[in-house]
Chains A and B, each alone.
Chain A
Amino acid sequence: MAKYLLLKHYRGAPEAVNDVPMEQWTPEEISAHVQYMEDFTARLEATGELVVGHQALSPDGMFVRYDGEGRPPVTDGPFAETKDLIAGWTVIDVESRERALELAAELSAAPGAGGKPIHEWLEVRPFLTEPPTITE
């Protein structure tokens, strides 16, 4: 088994196919989307492939760095453009890379405006693992 991070962000990715902001959907479409996400997590749990269910991040963040001994941290932000941010992630543990891509595609098919799939781009990143015991 191998762990993968399914990362939802908008940095560098092309626009989604069905790219209407959520507040322009109908309330029913929003409910259907939320339900789809919950069902997705429940399915992964049932197949024994879920590590961390969908985690959402607030856009209310900033960059921060060390600024030397005795000085307070330097910050940059909060961000003006929320489209540049990581929105959330899921961690799965699956048999193959193909399976990871299949699940990411399933997540990307979550319904949006008009009840049609968003076709949202997700970043899929394998975790670096512990070294194996037997190497020769």
Chain B
Amino acid sequence: MDEARLRALTPTVIAVLGRRGADFAAAEDAVQDALVEAVRVWPRDPPQDPKGWLVTVAWRKFLDASRADTARRNREERVEAEPVPVPGDAVDDTLQLYFLCAHPSLTPASAVALTLRAVGGLTTRQIAQAYLVPEATMAQRISRAKRTVSGVRLNRPGDVATVLRVLYLIFNEGYSGDVDLAAEAIRLARQVAGMTGHEEAAGLLALMLLHHARRPARTGPGGRLVPLAEQDRALWDTRLITEGVAILQAALARDRLGEFQAQAAIAALHADAPAAEETDWVQIVEWYDELVRLTGNPVARLNRAVAVGEADGPRAGLAALAELDPALPRHTAAAAYLHERDGDLATAARLYADAAQAASNLPERAHLTRQAARLNARLRGPA
């Protein structure tokens, strides 16, 4: 059994322990310990029933921990006396765990960490590596998060949107270290979409698949950023695109549009163009209009302005951009791009250099500096 399939059992096993009376924090710790043991033992002694094995071992770990904790003696007697599972729906319990980990009382960073551990089954060390913080720091973040939600009673379903936002954050971090956070986010989104049947969960899953499909084309040698228009589309993963489009179409057919479906629709239109110049920008602008209507998000407005520049010409794009706050992230980069399209290379070169200074990550800074350099070389004329 591979590691992802093992980790996929995590929320179910936590839920079983919960039904037997274990509180969330203790159940989560016990299941982590059981996962570590599974990784150690299974390669030479694989169990017939992986889930049953994990439940048994996690329950034993939980009892050991309770016994060791004298302050919990009273509860220990109670749980040892009643090891009979309370009947409950396994799918509902797993879903409740997602809601708990994405609870609005948690900060986004805490919700992300707790989700990766309690429903993703990743170790604290793996999560710490992925977010480039010391393991002790991540351990504190997770245990504080567990304390924050320890008093939460979930007797009615939570808001799916909170869970989707957390998964979106995980996906957008891309990946660093051993753990592929994008792949992990896709796995979790697939589970949530399957359990809830929610249109926006499907929309988010489609959005992730469509962007993940472009990953092989997104970076060039030395990690350099390759913009969408210059990507080698033959490198796009057509299997992921096909799946993403099918999931999106089924969601859209139910006529309950949301922001993730709208974003996925834009990604699907890009995926649909055999070459950058065949992109259906008019339809993309229409989807950005929907997105702006649904969210009012200034970043969506900025992207819309760039799309308008493609659909109706750079002057129209610059006019749309002029209505937005210049302090928006990537505003200067968008202006540089539109000025270049408009033929004003000197302004574009200056703005690209300014945008490089404002970039929030190194590949983007290098990319924008390279754009400025390219235009400056043209302005100098042939050497």
The interface of chain A, by Cβ under 8 A from chain B, is 21-27, 29-31, 34-35, 38, 56, 58-60, 82
Contacts and interface: CB of A to CB of B under 8 A. Distances in A.
Given A25-B373, A27-B373, 10 more contacts: A22-B369, A27-B370, A27-B377, A29-B373, A34-B222, A34-B224, A35-B221, A38-B222, A56-B365, A60-B358
Interface in B366-383: 366, 369-370, 372-374, 376-377
Interface residues of B, number: 22
Contacts of B365: 56
A82 B370 CA distance: 19
Interface stretch (B99-107, B295-303, B311-319, B349-357): B349-357
B222 A23 contact: no
Contacts of A27: 370, 373-374, 377
22 contacts: A22-B356, A22-B373, A23-B356, A23-B369, A23-B376, A25-B373, A26-B377, A27-B373, A27-B374, A27-B377, A30-B370, A30-B373, A31-B222, A31-B224, A31-B370, A34-B366, A38-B222, A38-B223, A56-B362, A59-B357, A60-B357, A60-B358
Contacts of B352: 23
Contacts of A35: 221-222
Interface of B: 221-224, 349, 352-353, 356-360, 362, 365-366, 369-370, 372-374, 376-377
A23 B353 contact: yes
A21 B366 CA distance: 13
Contacts of B223: 38
Contacts of B357: 59-60, 82
Contacts of B353: 21, 23
Q: Which of B221, B356, B360, B376 has the most CB of A within 10 A?
A: B376
Nearest to A24: B376
Contacts of B359: 58
A31 B363 CA distance: 11
